[in-house]
Amino acid sequence: MLFTNNLNEKNTSRYLNPSDIYIQQGYRIEVFASGLDSPIGMTYNDDKEMFVAESGLVAGNPRVLKLINDHFEVIADGFNVPISGISYNQGAIYVSHRGFITKIFKDGTRQNIIMGLPSNGDHYNSPVTFSSDGKLYFGQGTVTNSGVVGNDNAWVTTSPLLCDYPGDYVILYGQNFETDNILTEGISDDTALTGAFSPYGISNLPYETRKMYIKASGSLLRANLDGSNIEQVAWGFRDPSFLKFNNNGQLYATNNGFSAVGSRPIENATDDFYYVMNGLWYGWPDYSGGDAVTLPRFQPSNGPQPELLLKNQPNVPPKPFVSFPHNSNIRGFDFNYNKDFGPYGDVYIAEYGSTASTRVGEPISYAGAGHRISRIDMKARTVSTFAINKSGFPSSISKEGGFERPSYLTFGPDSIMYILDMGMNVTDNPDTFVPNTGVIWRILRDNM
């Protein structure tokens, strides 16, 4: 099936050519649908009908679409920007959008079942997944990059009291970070001293304590299907953008690591795929991939060596199941349980690519990571590239007709792999997309 979405009266052209994509031998890739606005999630109901979520990062109107007679129709909109994904369970669609999880019932009615999530900072709440014992699970991202509110946080002027909250009782060493005070522009030489886990301009004293929050920054949470009885599963993640159970009931999650920005920049942090164990701390804001940020490789070229913020570390952080290079920005993944498609139980994962903000004249780093589909060999615990543009760069850079921003991947009821590509960014802005450039790709075996 190849069709163009008819939801928009004006369709922005994006050159598409599957032959510009390298894919492992024995497979082929096709365009399934085009003309979408920054698609971010996909799910199927019991009747194998397809639903797609558009994030809202184009027009500010996130919406859920249903595939009907080879075209998409809007079935729900008016969510917070952005939608991060959708999931289906027992007759209802669960929509994750900034700060909320909303349940859409068969009759079209909807209910906000979880509200008040700390998602107004840099990262937000992830799509929902479901356990065999009837619980829903999701990730909650951190407010800041590395635990300190700084001048990299564009939301400071509108939300000056926003900060991160830990998932355990912690003691802080008490470092403070000095910046020009962006809340008092026009006053010369005015500076702000900001401590960890504190609002902008609020300094820390040595050995201050912070209490535990269930809905903590960088946590994995679970609840009943109606949103009641929220519990913390684990914390210490920076950006747990996607999580899912395998057939054995084991939970896996992605985590995108630090950037070299803000008051506490950290260089060369990996993006990590974790096997999740209940009740543990996974290292944020003091570890990357199981290693302390005090190691020399984490020192940015234009900044000091990072120091630890937490005096009492809850536990030794677990090592990742596998790690990806910095700027991979790993997103949606799925397990393959079709032996005719590929190795049974292996994971296929979408790499979105760099989200680093740039100034005029500074290029976004595209080389060596992201903008591809990778395969995780779950027995060998290795990562290999499964599909990538032949140039190695996103299509907007190389002028090819291949991948731009892969954001989600799933195996459909037909055992075919479907990939959501959010589309083309506005120049030098990874958070804004060109309308109607979102694509759904699909990958099949040559004999399918």
The CA-based dihedral angle spanning residues 38, 44, 48, 51, taken in that order and rounded to the nearest 10 degrees = -30
Closest to 380 (Cα-Cα) out of 421, 356, 346, 430: 346
Going by their DSSP bridges, the two strands 425-426 and 219-224 should be labelled as unpaired
Q: What is the DSSP letter of 413?
A: T
Entry pTM = 0.95
pLDDT for res 431? 78
Task: Pull the structure tokens for residue 302.
Answer: 């234009």
- Residue 327: closest CA among 256, 265, 382, 231: 256
How many Cα atoms occupy the beta-carbon half-sphere of 407 within 13 Å?
29
Rounded to whole angstroms, what are the CA distances from 235 to 124, 142, 340? Answer: 14, 10, 37
Q: Which residues pair with 109 in a beta bridge?
A: none
> Which residues are within 8 A (CB) of 3 and not within 5 positions of it... i.e. 6 or more apart?
33, 34, 70, 71
As to burial, measured by CB atoms within 10 angstroms (0-12 exposed, 13-18 middle, 19+ buried), residue 207 is: exposed
Q: How far, in Å, CA of 384 to CA of 41, rounded?
A: 24
pLDDT, position 11:
54
Q: Which of 97, 105, 139, 67 is nearest to 332 (CA)?
A: 139
Confidence (pLDDT) at 10: 46
Give the amino acid at 37: D
Q: What is the C-alpha to C-alpha distance for residues 167 and 281, in angstroms, rounded to an integer?
A: 8
Place of tokens 């054995």: 248
- Beta-carbon contacts of 140 under 8 Å, excluding residues fewer than 6 positions away, are 117, 118, 119, 124, 125, 126, 215, 216, 217, 218, 219, 220, 221, 240
Q: What is the mean pLDDT of the chain?
A: 93
pLDDT at 5: 54
CA distances from 358 to 18, 254, 261, 364, 402 (A): 30, 25, 11, 6, 24
Q: How far is CA 387 from CA 228, 336, 367, 404, in A?
A: 41, 16, 15, 12
φ and ψ at 184, to 5 degrees?
-130, 50
In the numeric block, which tokens belong to residue 81?
Answer: 């920007």
Give pLDDT, residue 368. Answer: 73
Per-residue pLDDT tens listing for the chain (448 residues): 445 554 444 455 799 999 999 999 999 999 999 999 999 999 999 999 999 999 999 989 999 999 999 999 999 999 999 999 999 999 999 999 999 999 999 999 999 999 999 999 999 999 999 999 999 999 999 999 999 999 999 999 999 999 999 999 999 999 999 999 999 876 767 999 999 999 999 999 999 999 999 999 999 999 999 999 999 999 999 999 999 999 999 999 999 999 999 999 999 999 999 999 999 999 999 999 999 999 999 999 888 999 999 999 999 999 999 999 999 999 999 999 999 999 999 999 999 998 765 443 444 455 678 999 999 999 999 999 999 999 998 998 889 999 999 999 999 999 999 999 999 987 767 778 999 999 999 999 998 7
CATH superfamily of 22-445: TolB, C-terminal domain (2.120.10.30)
- Side-chain half-sphere exposure of 137, counting CA atoms within 13 A: 24
Q: How many of the other CB atoms lie within 10 Å of CB of 129?
A: 22
Quote the pLDDT of residue 4: 53
pLDDT for 296: 98
The full set of domain ranges for the chain reads: 22-445
Is residue 290 a contact partner of residue 313, using CB atoms and an 8 Å limit? no
Beta-bridge partner residues of 376 = 347, 383
Residue 410 pairs with which residues in a beta bridge? 418
The reported pLDDT for the residue numbered 366 is 59
What distance in Å separates the CA atoms of residue 421 and residue 441, rounded to the nearest whole number? 7
Beta partners for 243? 253
- How far is it, in rounded angstroms, from Cα 194 to Cα 181? 10
